[in-house]
Structure 1
Amino acid sequence: MLEALIFVVFPFCMVYSAVSDTMSMTIANRVPLLLLGVFLVVAPLTGMAWVDIGMHLAAGALLLTVTFAMFALGGMGGGDAKLIAASAVWMGLGMPLMQYLLVSAVFGGMLTLAILAFRSSVLAHITSQNMFLRNFSKDAGGVPYGIALGIGGLLTYPSSPLMLWALERLAAQ
């Protein structure tokens, strides 16, 4: 049961955030709250040391501070900031978090360039009423960065501490 939560919750939240951000340019508050709540329940049950749990929470607090400042300066959406912080809690301070941030930044840059190119094309006008593409075609619209965060999270999650624990448990059976 515990392994199932680890295998399902984080990936589901990443996919949900990407789709939600694509469709509505928002990431609901329930997503980072679910990520944080499930982590707080699951981590102690896996035998993770309290110091390590504290370091995971510190990673989230650090990223929330940085991303909230970016949000306040207009450089990032509020949902993106909360999602990054909640994802950081699952990754912890260490290489998985660095990989997550790097992969998300690379995909975010590629996504931004692709959207800018799309917005200057004839296709943007034609697809402006399409429910999947309308947010990509708005000149004044931002970039649904939840897509990049979702991809970054899915690609780097297998190296996160909880996922490694769950994989070891399955291998031992």
Structure 2
Amino acid sequence: MLVALIFVVFPFCMLFAAISDLLSMTIANRVSLLLLGTFAVVAPLTGMDWSAYGLHFAGGAVVLAVTFILFALGGMGGGDAKLLAATAVWMGFGTHLLEYLVVSAFLGGVLTLGILSYRGSAIAMFTGRNMFLRNFADKTVGVPYGIALGIGGLIAYPESPLMVWAIEQLAAK
């Protein structure tokens, strides 16, 4: 059951956040709360020592502090900031977190450039009413960065501490 939670909850939340941001330009608080709550319960049951457990939450706190400042300056949406912090808790305070942040930033840059190109093109006039493309075409809204965060999370997740533990558990059987 524990391994199943590790395999399902994080990827589901990343996909849900990406799709939700694509369709509605919002990431529900319950996604970040589910990530935090699941990690808080599951991580100690995997045998993670308390210092590592604390460092995971420290990574989330540092990311939340930085993203809160970016949110206050208008450079980031609130849902994106909370999702980044909750995802940082799963990655831990180390190279996995750095990998997640770099991959997500790169994907976010590509996404932003793509959306800006799309918004400036003639094709946006014809496809802008499509439910999947309407937020891409609307120049009055920001960029649904949750898409990049979700994909970045899915790319970085296989090397995260809980996922490595879960794979080791399956390999031992």
Match for residue 135 of structure 1?
A: 135
1:117 partnered with 2:139: no
Match for residue 24 of structure 2?
A: 24
1:57-76 mapped onto 2 (5 Å cutoff): 57-76=57-76
Match for residue 102 of structure 2?
A: 102
1:51 partnered with 2:51: yes
Match for residue 3 of structure 2?
A: 3
Distance 1:170 1:36 in 2: 24
Q: How far 1:90 moved relative to its partner?
A: 0.2
Kindly provide the amino acid, as one letter, of the partner of residue 50 in structure 2. W
1:39 alignment partner, SS class: helix
Q: How far 1:22 moved relative to its partner?
A: 0.2
Kindly provide the amino acid, as one letter, of the partner of residue 117 in structure 2. A
1:148 partnered with 2:132: no
Kindly provide the amino acid, as one letter, of the partner of residue 28 in structure 2. A
Kindly provide the amino acid, as one letter, of the partner of residue 136 in structure 1. F
Deviation sequence 1:62-96 (CA, Å, 0-9, x none): 00000000000000000000000000000001111
Deviation sequence 1:99-124 (CA, Å, 0-9, x none): 00000000000000000000000111
Q: How far 1:129 moved relative to its partner?
A: 1.3
Instruction: Return structure 1 stretches of 4+ with deviation > 4 angstroms.
Output: none
Distance 1:171 1:128 in 2: 48
1:71-82 mapped onto 2 (5 Å cutoff): 71-82=71-82
Match for residue 88 of structure 1?
A: 88
Distance 2:82 2:123 in 1: 32
Equivalent residue pairs, number = 173
Distance 1:16 1:92 in 2: 22
1:142 alignment partner, SS class: coil
Deviation sequence 1:12-60 (CA, Å, 0-9, x none): 0000000000000000000000000000010010010111111000000
Kindly provide the amino acid, as one letter, of the partner of residue 132 in structure 1. F
1:152-167 mapped onto 2 (5 Å cutoff): 152-167=152-167
Unaligned runs of 5+ in 2: none
TM-score normalised over the length of structure 1: 0.99
Unaligned runs of 5+ in 1: none
Distance 2:126 2:34 in 1: 37
Q: How far 1:140 moved relative to its partner?
A: 1.5
Sequence identity percentage: 68
Kindly provide the amino acid, as one letter, of the partner of residue 10 in structure 1. F
Match for residue 34 of structure 1?
A: 34
